[in-house]
């Protein structure tokens, strides 16, 4: 036994010396099996060396938790990600704490202060960026971090999970071209997000492969929300030579296009075809049901939760960046153009 008074040794101290999270040390102390053997051996050696003693045999450790942090919770795809994380957490006997930090430093600091008071296995961020000071503090706490990244940022220090944005956009526009469309409008997402650029590149690649010149007048800015889709759709329909199809880089913008079409006295897909991106649950119930690119949001949440639990157990991840496949879901919003 080491020279430390065992009553003065804390789990946080052992975690810091072992280079692991506090919940990992808790799992070793409680004899749980979900810890990598070399991690368990290192933690047990430190516990023995420093003479760690439990505070009370009757004390129950706090329930293990996963922190799931969004910038905002105002998008329908947030619910899909929560559902995926919850499925894995629940089956593993782990709770989920959902927070929104609203892009504000003060909110992030408050979340961090609250997070320190609970037994967190790790943190899942749903964001296109995690600021360096926050990353540094989480490293200091030896908490594993995974980024669910619908926006497609460059790989960071933490593992990231995204989707094949370029391939999804390519397939959607190839589908429209296959129906006979040659004038295809595109409503983009925020230009600072890599997913927006990837979806625009997929649109350009599909037209180029078919020998169709890109008309910049058919490309309109957007922000993934309904209002932007409505505004851009109205502008595209008002062109002297309007498109026969519109590909919107999100389902919400595609539904905004639906309203622009309705107010123009036209119909989908009789007068214009519309395709979206995301496959949110509600788009199968709109009229007509929307053809869209399915982004596997719930599966992204499930993979992130599994990755956090593996990292918290001292395991390694094989790849710092995982992209799950997108898929074109054909419904009733696209048809051949009128001759």
Residue 1, pLDDT score: 40
Q: What is the dihedral of CA 148, 329, 251, 287, to 10 degrees?
A: -150
Q: From CA 140, how far away is CA 239, in angstroms rounded?
A: 56
How far is 313 from 25, CA to CA, in rounded Å? 9
Provide, rounded to the nearest whole percent, the portion of the chain with pLDDT above 90: 51
* Separation CA 204–CA 194 (nearest Å): 15
Instruction: Tell me the C-alpha distance between 174 and 181, whole Å.
Output: 10
Question: Six-digit token pair at 83?
Answer: 């559902």
**Which tops the pLDDT comparison, 148 or 292?**
292
Q: Are 291 and 328 in contact (CB under 8 A)?
A: yes
Q: How many CB atoms lie within 10 A of CB 77?
A: 21
Strand ordering across the sheet containing 145-148: 95-100, 65-70, 120-126, 145-148, 160-163, 321-324
Reported as a single tens digit per residue, the pLDDT across 273-321 is 999 999 999 999 999 999 999 999 999 999 999 999 888 877 888 778 8
283 or 159, which is more confident? 283
> pLDDT tens digits for 180-190?
999 999 999 98
- Convert the pLDDT of each residue in 49-79 to its tens digit: 887 765 443 333 456 889 999 887 877 788 8
What's the pLDDT score for residue 63? 67
Q: Which sign does the torsion angle of CA 280, 69, 152, 229 carry?
A: positive
Please, what are the domains in the chain? Answer: 1-59 (1.10.260.40), 65-163+297-324 (3.40.50.2300), 165-294 (3.40.50.2300)
pTM comes to 0.77
Average pLDDT, the chain: 86
Q: How far, CA to CA in Å, does 64 sit from each of 25, 69, 201, 313, 334?
A: 12, 16, 42, 12, 47
Give the phi and the psi of residue 328 in degrees, each rounded to 5. -75, 125
Kindly report, residue by residue over 84-130, the tens digit of the pLDDT: 999 999 998 889 999 888 767 777 788 888 887 777 888 998 875 66
Percentage with pLDDT > 70 across the chain: 88
pLDDT of residue 54: 54
């Amino acid at each position: 036994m080491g020279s430390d008074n065992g009553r003065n040794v804390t789990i946080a101290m052992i975690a810091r010396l072992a280079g692991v999270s506090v919940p990992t040390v808790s799992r070793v102390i409680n004899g749980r099996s979900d810890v990598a053997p070399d991690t368990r051996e290192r933690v047990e050696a430190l516990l023995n060396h420093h003479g760690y003693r439990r505070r009370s045999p009757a004390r129950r450790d706090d329930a293990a938790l996963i922190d799931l942090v969004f910038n905002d919770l105002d998008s329908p795809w947030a619910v899909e990600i929560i559902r995926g994380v919850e499925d894995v957490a629940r089956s593993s006997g782990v709770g989920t704490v959902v927070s929104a930090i609203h892009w504000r430093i003060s909110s992030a600091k408050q979340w961090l202060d609250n997070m320190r008071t609970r037994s967190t296995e790790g943190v899942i961020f749903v964001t296109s960026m995690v600021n360096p000071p926050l990353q540094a503090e989480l490293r200091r706490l030896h908490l594993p971090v995974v980024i669910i990244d619908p926006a497609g940022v460059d790989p960071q220090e933490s593992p990231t999970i995204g989707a094949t944005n370029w391939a999804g956009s390519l397939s959607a526009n190839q589908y429209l071209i296959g129906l006979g469309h040659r004038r295809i409008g595109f409503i983009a997402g925020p230009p600072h997000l890599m997913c927006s650029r990837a979806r625009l590149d997929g649109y350009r690649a599909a037209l180029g492969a078919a020998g169709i010149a890109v008309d910049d007048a058919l490309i309109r800015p957007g922000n993934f929300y309904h209002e932007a889709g409505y505004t851009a759709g109205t502008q595209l329909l008002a062109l002297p030579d309007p498109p026969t199809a519109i590909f919107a880089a999100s389902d919400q913008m595609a539904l905004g296009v639906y309203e622009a079409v309705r107010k123009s006295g036209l119909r989908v897909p009789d007068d214009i075809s519309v395709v979206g991106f995301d496959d949110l649950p509600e788009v199968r119930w709109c009229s007509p049901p929307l053809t869209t690119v399915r982004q596997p949001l719930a599966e992204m949440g499930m993979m992130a939760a599994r990755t956090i639990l593996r990292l918290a157990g001292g395991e390694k991840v094989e790849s710092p960046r995982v992209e799950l496949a997108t898929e074109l879901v054909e419904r009733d919003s696209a048809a051949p153009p009128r001759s």
